[in-house]
Amino acid sequence: MVNMKLLECIIRVIINFFTYLILSLIAIYCLIFIASSFAGQTYTITHGEYFLIWIIMAVFIRQVSGDISVLFFKKSGKEE
């Protein structure tokens, strides 16, 4: 019983982690596309800048959206 709860918790963390990273990557590219289409210029960002923006955006999306893994798990009626 304890192992199943631990496994479910680990799966939730993994789902949340990768979902926030994917959403933040999409958000970064959307922002750059919108900015370049309005300004008509090309933006060059180094790999380090992408990494920092990616992590900060993932944290921001986490704070705004909450727990995404609840979409994948059925909520139990009885909490222990």
14 in any annotated domain: no
What total of structural domains would you count in the chain?
1
34 in any annotated domain: yes
3 in any annotated domain: no
Share of the chain above pLDDT 90, in %: 0
The pair of three-digit structure tokens given for residue 41, joined into one six-digit string? 């210029």
- pLDDT (0 to 100) of residue 1: 59
6 in any annotated domain: no
28 in any annotated domain: yes
- pLDDT (0 to 100) of residue 75: 62
- pLDDT (0 to 100) of residue 80: 47
78 in any annotated domain: no
63 in any annotated domain: yes
Chain centroid to CA 74: 21
Backbone angles phi, psi at 41, to 5 degrees: -120, 165
Backbone angles phi, psi at 36, to 5 degrees: -70, -30
Torsion sign over Cα 74, 77, 78, 79: positive
> Residues of the chain whose pLDDT is less than 50?
80
Domain of residue 41: give its range: 19-68
Is the entire prediction scored with pTM above 0.75? Answer: no
9 in any annotated domain: no
